[in-house]
Structure 1
Amino acid sequence: MTAKTVGAGELLSPQQLAVVRERSDLRGTWLVVHAWGVIFLSMAMFAWFPNPLTFIAAVVLIGGRQLGLAILMHDGAHGILTKNQKLNMFLSQWFCAYPMLAETGAYRRYHLKHHANTQQQEDPDLILSAPFPITKKSFRRKVVRDLTGQTGYQQRKAQFLNAIGPSDWPLSQRLANFNKKLGKSALTNAALFAILWAAGHPWYFVTLWVLPLLTWHQFITRVRNIAEHAMVDDDDPFRYARTTRAGLFMRAVLAPYWVNYHVEHHLMMWVPCYNLPRAQAYLFANGFGERMEIKDSYFDVIRMATSRPDSDDRPGELKHNARRRRVEGSMGEGFEPSQDAA
């Protein structure tokens, strides 16, 4: 069953629609530059003031911008990052998707199924939200696995094994398969490594790129997944998704580039991320605010998501991970989007 929808004309006036539909080559390009600027400045901060606190800060800031790159790739997949579609795909692919071991076209095919079937049985993202609420013990286990790199390692391992193909394939076939699925990602990551090598910090590729990707980025991706669709209504388009209010600090470390405006995105998926706050203001002005699923903070969402009594905790009861299922094309061929629910 497909998800219910609300027509754009029922939500906003023609004048309001014209404003929120507007796409900007300058703004889209600036957001990509901003993401990479934060990443390199975070590395520079640690290089200038090397100590445990600046290292942790760099990992958190870089992991947040890695999520930011995924968000900008998401807008690219919708064709709304910039007005010029060639620029949209160029930025989305080479500066957002490939560095994150993803691919915009494959993600688009997967993601549009999510929009067409939001919170229905055919929704490929339902696996991310269905297990909630869970116990606090279960959530703590997930956080530990995320922040120690275990979840990220298992997902990337599955992705690489899929890319190199079965061991009984001839070497030429395995190389061709790898090149098809991860060749451009390998190229962009090699370019990043070369830049860091030239800057005199080659080890930053491991400590301040791979490590944030496998730890903090993994954790905040989980929190984002919970906030967006866990414990929402499956029969009301104003409550299929959740918007979560976020201040400056949370936007810096957990919710970059307006990703927290998720109800607005599902109501009008053709609105660029940089226009979502304006879209929300129009929806509120038009009297839809009370109908929308909105939480005041990510802490409120986590409290609700961990409301199941610890007495019901059953480690290993639910396992929605790469051992159960590989979703082709969620972030790129062979990437597993789901996170274990045990």
Structure 2
Amino acid sequence: MGKQSVLGELRAFRATIPQEKLRVWENPTGWPCLLKIARDWALILAAYQLFARFPSSPTFIAALLLMSWGQRGLSTLAHDSIHGNLYKNKWINDLVTNVFLAPALMSTAKLQRASHSAHHNYLGTEDDPDHGEHNPTSLRHYRTGTYCHKSMFSLFLYDVMDPVLFLHSALGDLKAAPVLLIGWWAAVGLLTSFLEPSYPLLSLGNIRINTFVVLFHFVRCTISYGFYVLREIIDHSGLPSNGVLEFTRSSPWGSWFQKFLQPHDDNYHLLHHLLPKVPMSKLHVADSWLMKNNEEYAKANHFDTYLEDHKSLFLQQLHSCANE
């Protein structure tokens, strides 16, 4: 499956949908995206303040989970932004991305868009940077050609313990954009220093260390990293790379776990690959219509539950010790 076959499949799928539907669905989010960005940053700052003002083991655990939830939200909105789904005006879209979203994930709008476009255009091929066999930036099992993990949980353990993937995720695009990212985080450190408690939570001798910056990156490189790996596995792993419909899953919608793991309706990954210009906020409406009106789409990889029965997403059998 090369770029031309992917684009051909997308054109054929679009042709089955009325143009008036596509015009409504593909209209960018606009100003409401700022409310979502504010909510996610509010979660992150609330998590930080909870631990900073009331430091204890329970508040530390609560802070980790709340901050990870906010980070997952920022990641989803950044994902939407690199498809131009926040604002019609590209300059405004990328400004919002570079001020509020991408640098928090150690990237920029331009760099994130280049990498993610390759994932969409070369889905499932060697040139796919996320799921390409033997691609140096892919998940570990794709990179090494190891397909003996039959469950998502064993595959998750194999991939998440990969030092190469961890380092790539932790450093992000720091090497490619050091001035922007270091400058952005220096500004964040300065602004959040006014929120620090009077007593030092972290220090190096007489030097106070910014608790927010340390806590944010600790969460990003632990819990959020783990959820990132799990979400990548959920989206594509263990499926035959014969086309977008066969190689992609849609996850359950509406549960508390979905709101945490895949916030802002990021669970409709199959539909996202088929119609990448539809903002996340409109995927639920589009999915509902397509499930009733597009037989090919309705028969694809959709899951209603995570764990409740044998047809649940997390209980799917994956590989059989052979190439996908």
**TM-score where L is the length of structure 2:** 0.78
Structure-2 separation of matches of 1:259 and 1:112: 17
Per the alignment, residue 181 of structure 1 pairs with 177
Give, in angstroms, the shift of residue 216 of structure 1: 0.6
225 and 16 in structure 1: CA distance in 2 versus 1, 3 angstrom threshold: same
The aligned amino acid for 2:92 is L
Q: How does 1:203-214 map to 2 (within 5 A)?
A: 203-214=210-221
Give, in angstroms, the shift of residue 283 of structure 1: 0.8
Per the alignment, residue 258 of structure 2 pairs with 251
The aligned amino acid for 2:9 is T
- 8 Å CA contact 1:24–1:82 kept in 2: the answer is yes
Give, in angstroms, the shift of residue 238 of structure 1: 2.0
Q: How does 1:186-225 map to 2 (within 5 A)?
A: 186-201=182-197, 203-225=210-232
Per the alignment, residue 149 of structure 2 pairs with 134
Cα deviations by residue, 1:185-216 (Å, 9 ceiling, x for unpaired): 11221222222211124643245211101101
Per the alignment, residue 115 of structure 1 pairs with 120
Structure-1 separation of matches of 2:61 and 2:238: 32
Give, in angstroms, the shift of residue 236 of structure 1: 3.6
Structure-1 separation of matches of 2:226 and 2:196: 30
The aligned amino acid for 1:101 is M
- 8 Å CA contact 1:74–1:104 kept in 2: the answer is no
- 8 Å CA contact 1:11–1:283 kept in 2: the answer is no
The aligned amino acid for 2:167 is Q
- 8 Å CA contact 2:71–2:224 kept in 1: the answer is yes
Cα deviations by residue, 1:264-298 (Å, 9 ceiling, x for unpaired): 10110111111111111121121335322112344
Per the alignment, residue 291 of structure 1 pairs with 299
Q: Which has the higher contact order (CA 8 A, sep 6+)?
A: 1
| Residue number among 2, 9, 32 corresponding to 1:5 in the alignment | 9
Per the alignment, residue 66 of structure 2 pairs with 61
Per the alignment, residue 100 of structure 2 pairs with 95
- 8 Å CA contact 1:133–1:304 kept in 2: the answer is no
- 8 Å CA contact 2:33–2:86 kept in 1: the answer is yes
The aligned amino acid for 1:134 is H
77 and 295 in structure 1: CA distance in 2 versus 1, 3 angstrom threshold: same
- 8 Å CA contact 2:249–2:301 kept in 1: the answer is yes
Structure-1 separation of matches of 2:172 and 2:292: 45
Structure 1 window deviating more from structure 2 (96-105 vs 21-30): it is: 21-30
Q: How does 1:33-44 map to 2 (within 5 A)?
A: 33-44=38-49
Per the alignment, residue 205 of structure 2 pairs with none
Give, in angstroms, the shift of residue 70 of structure 1: 2.3
11 and 132 in structure 1: CA distance in 2 versus 1, 3 angstrom threshold: farther
Helix, strand or coil at the partner of 1:239: helix
| Residue number among 167, 179, 187 corresponding to 1:154 in the alignment | 167
Per the alignment, residue 87 of structure 2 pairs with 82
- 8 Å CA contact 1:23–1:83 kept in 2: the answer is yes
For structure 1, the residue ranges without an aligned partner over 5 or more in a row are 164-179, 313-342
- 8 Å CA contact 2:43–2:69 kept in 1: the answer is no
> 2:312 matched to 1:304?
no
157 and 198 in structure 1: CA distance in 2 versus 1, 3 angstrom threshold: same
Structure-2 separation of matches of 1:9 and 1:252: 28
Structure-2 separation of matches of 1:35 and 1:203: 20
- 8 Å CA contact 2:51–2:59 kept in 1: the answer is yes
- 8 Å CA contact 1:29–1:82 kept in 2: the answer is no
Structure-1 separation of matches of 2:155 and 2:106: 29
22 and 197 in structure 1: CA distance in 2 versus 1, 3 angstrom threshold: same
Per the alignment, residue 28 of structure 1 pairs with 33
> 2:267 matched to 1:263?
no
Per the alignment, residue 203 of structure 2 pairs with none
209 and 232 in structure 1: CA distance in 2 versus 1, 3 angstrom threshold: same
Q: Identity of counterpart residues, as a percentage? A: 23
Structure-2 separation of matches of 1:19 and 1:36: 29
For structure 2, the residue ranges without an aligned partner over 5 or more in a row are 132-137, 198-208
Per the alignment, residue 19 of structure 1 pairs with 24
Per the alignment, residue 274 of structure 1 pairs with 281
Cα deviations by residue, 1:84-142 (Å, 9 ceiling, x for unpaired): 32221111112111122101112212221221121233322223363455265564465
Q: How does 1:329-340 map to 2 (within 5 A)?
A: none
223 and 80 in structure 1: CA distance in 2 versus 1, 3 angstrom threshold: same
Helix, strand or coil at the partner of 1:6: helix
- 8 Å CA contact 1:79–1:85 kept in 2: the answer is yes
Structure-1 separation of matches of 2:172 and 2:273: 28
142 and 72 in structure 1: CA distance in 2 versus 1, 3 angstrom threshold: same
Structure-2 separation of matches of 1:68 and 1:133: 32
- 8 Å CA contact 1:152–1:213 kept in 2: the answer is no
Per the alignment, residue 329 of structure 1 pairs with none
